[in-house]
Structure 1
Amino acid sequence: MTRTLEAVVIGGGYAGVVAANRLSTSDELSVTLINPRRDFVERIRLHQRATGTYGATVPYADVLAPSIRLTVDSVTRIDAPSRSLVLASGAVARYDHLVYAVGSHAATSEVPGTAEHTIALSTLEQADDLRDALAAVPTRAPVTVVGGGSTGIEVAAELAESGRPVTLLAGDRLGPSLHPAARATVARQLGRLGATVLAGAGARAAAVVDGGVHLADGRELPSALTVWTAGFGVPDLARRSGLRTDPLGRLVTDETLTSLDDERIVAAGDCAAPSGVPYRMCCAAAQPLGAQAADTVLRRVAGDAPRGRSLAIPGQCLSLGRRAGLLQLARRDDTALPVHLGGRLGAGLKEAVTAGTLVGLRTMSRRPGIIPALGLLQDPRRAGRLAAASPDLAPVQDRPALAD
């Protein structure tokens, strides 16, 4: 059968790769993935790339089905009325169906000095910048990591294990998405590695200067190198293109991941805000959201109404250096349970999940009809949260199939 429809995926992260592979199962769709890099980046290993323990990239040929075209470029504007994309190179790409999977990046901070005196860790380029910066300062020079979420914890542990004197400014509390028992385990392991953890309102970064960080309570913290991991934002492509977004800039969709403005556009991953109530930004959510976005397109191509899903996120993994880790179990609505596994067992589980993620992508490139395992889980509580959180964006009824 001749492939007569063009499906374009913007973004080659976890969600985009899963979506592109799944779309390639249709005999009617010609699939193109547009991404600014030639290689797939294992974002969940960027802290290892920064410290030189792992490369964190593989060729897209390893994770994309052979029929998928890779365009190495960036999209500067989505012209929804004409179903076209303006690329940074000046080229124009046309589509019949579009998957918006541009991911996320380090949030822009209003704290004075962050732009001039810190290095973020959310992209491959930033990981390389951090690696170079670490090589340029003495091993015993003090390093500060700002942000007590998963990225901050992992990079602080990695640096401390390599012999760096590290202070982690954790904000109000360390690991806010963790259960208190798991939080205590993380704090103990960071302490064993020699890292200092400061938490609470007074320990917030008030300003970053050359050679130090000023804290909210007036303390001055010496810092030869400051790593900024406090929060994530998303590219503003959807907002600049006139599509409806939430305050952070995520594309607002219904529960089928379809844009509220255009049925030809679906979103997946960190940049999606289903019903205005987005899932936590993480790899565990990105992959099943990528599969669901593709399924919405495939059902429309087949003339069927798409289906909404309630994604479950049953836990999270953290690496705490190379010899320890943490697996935090959670309810299907992503609230932490008082159950976690740590130490060497946690490290083994974290590595198994991380390595297994890449194995799964490679498997999907050869058998693109496979659904990511987490995509089979449902969260029965989401409907109630939607009604309570944003009644004006409650799940919509299935829309009719698109006309030719």
Structure 2
Amino acid sequence: MNASQGTRSSEVPPRNVVVVGAGYAGVIAANRIQAARRPGVTVTVVNPRSEFVERVRLHQHAADGADATTALSGLLDPAVRVRVATVDRITDAAVVLDDGGSLDFDLLVYAVGSRSDRGVGAEHTHTVGDLEDADRLRSRLRELADDSSVVVVGGGLTGIETSAEIAERLPGRTVRLVSAGPVAEGLSERGRRGVTRTLARLGVEVHAGSRMLRAEPGRVVLADGTVLASDCTIWAGALGVPDLARRSGLPVDGAGRLQTDENLVCLGHPNVIGVGDAVAPPERVAGHIRMSCQAAIPLGAHGADTALALLDGRAPRPLSIGFASQCISLGRRAGVVQLVRADDSPRRIALGGRTAAVVKELICRSARWGVGTRGSAVRWPVPGPTPTRQTQDTSA
């Protein structure tokens, strides 16, 4: 063997990593993989827009136009490539794009996130599930007269935050919050009291214990027969996921989420890794995980670590993440920070008032900064016994 042959044999072959989606999970996954500087590895992010959307601020964006986007160029490692396009389908080794192009991959990180699933009355409701929906809601709210009525459907964190934000930022409107069960059901008694007291102070009327039967022009009909006047109805209930995995023939659960093993590797597809809201790892490691940026960030980081292990020929480690708190903004001057166990069950301790509002704002800012720091310092709590409860929400 001559010298030139020896040099060629020692070269590392190029390997392409494609990250589909640039939300919290996708951005930190791309940055973490790129930060490892593996020889020959190219990281490309595919996203429908060139901006990162802070979903935790979309209710603020809808109420008063608060900025909820940041240029991806300011968050991603400069070496990460960006392709602005939508993925039509995923094949065994390539993603097919809506602009007619395609990208080959050796590893794919599936990070398509979640979206609002409006269900009944969809044609007569708005959401804060994505930027376009929040833009449409903002336009509608600006059209409303001062004495108009707004109905928010959903007593979870997103519904609470949305109703409080509108009541504070747009005084004069009648704001009603509809919840099939108790409002803020996942919080401790102290946390729930803090939420209900602040909603009452803001003038939000709470209708708990009856689900929305249908939304119609000018009104909302509840299952118990109550009819509420509504000039603008906002759905803040359950979330759904894009159907890309299903359309691509990848294994999904009943909700359409990509099925993975405990390492976040797609079942039957060892070159696909799933992260964020749109994946369904085994119940034993992820039964407690709710849809949120608080979960998406460590899921993205763990998926990146799994990708690096596969690139290195190492066995990836199992998923093990937990929660520390549930943080709720109640307008800009109040909030609730509910401390939780690692399995997301509430502790008795909850902070409220202006202090909680400051903590919530700092957490929102740190979430954006955190995904843009190449992910090298991300840590998360280790959960205790696997719980059975799973809550879907878009709040931090």
**Alignment partner, residue 40 of structure 2:** 28
Q: How many residues align structurally?
A: 373
Cα pair distance change 1:69/1:328, threshold 3 Å: same
Q: TM-score of the superposition, structure 2-length normalised?
A: 0.91
**Alignment partner, residue 113 of structure 2:** 103
1:64 aligns with 2:76: yes
Q: Distance in 2 between matches of 1:194 and 1:167?
A: 9
8 Å CA contact 2:59, 2:128 repeated in 1: yes
**Alignment partner, residue 380 of structure 1:** 384
Write the letter of the residue equivalent to 2:311: V
> Shift of the alpha carbon at 1:204?
1.4
Give 5+ residue unaligned stretches, structure 2: 1-10, 391-396
- Of 197, 216, 223, 1:188 maps to 197
Within-5 A mapping of 1:87-236: 87-109=97-119, 111=120, 114-162=121-169, 163=171, 164-200=173-209, 203-236=210-243
> Shift of the alpha carbon at 1:369?
5.2
**Alignment partner, residue 336 of structure 1:** 346
Give 5+ residue unaligned stretches, structure 1: 390-404
Q: Distance in 2 between matches of 1:193 and 1:369?
A: 38
Q: Per-residue displacement from partner, 1:44-66 (whole Å, max 9, x unpaired)?
A: 00011101252110100111000
**Alignment partner, residue 401 of structure 1:** none
8 Å CA contact 1:291, 1:371 repeated in 2: no
Task: Tell me how large the CA RMSD over aligned residues is.
Answer: 1.7
8 Å CA contact 1:212, 1:224 repeated in 2: yes
**Alignment partner, residue 295 of structure 1:** 305
- State the identity as a percent: 43
- After TM superposition, the runs of 4+ consecutive aligned structure 1 residues lying more than 4 A away are none
**Alignment partner, residue 262 of structure 2:** 255
1:38 aligns with 2:50: yes
Q: Distance in 2 between matches of 1:91 and 1:69?
A: 15
> Shift of the alpha carbon at 1:373?
3.1
Q: Distance in 2 between matches of 1:2 and 1:187?
A: 60
SS of the counterpart of 1:326? strand
Q: Distance in 2 between matches of 1:160 and 1:3?
A: 58
Write the letter of the residue equivalent to 2:232: L
> Shift of the alpha carbon at 1:304?
0.7
> Shift of the alpha carbon at 1:198?
0.8
1:270 aligns with 2:277: yes
Q: Distance in 1 between matches of 2:68 and 2:314?
A: 39
Q: Per-residue displacement from partner, 1:158-207 (whole Å, max 9, x unpaired)?
A: 0111212100002212123222321121011000000001111xx31111
Q: Distance in 2 between matches of 1:228 and 1:72?
A: 29
1:86 aligns with 2:93: no
- Of 285, 306, 310, 2:320 maps to 310
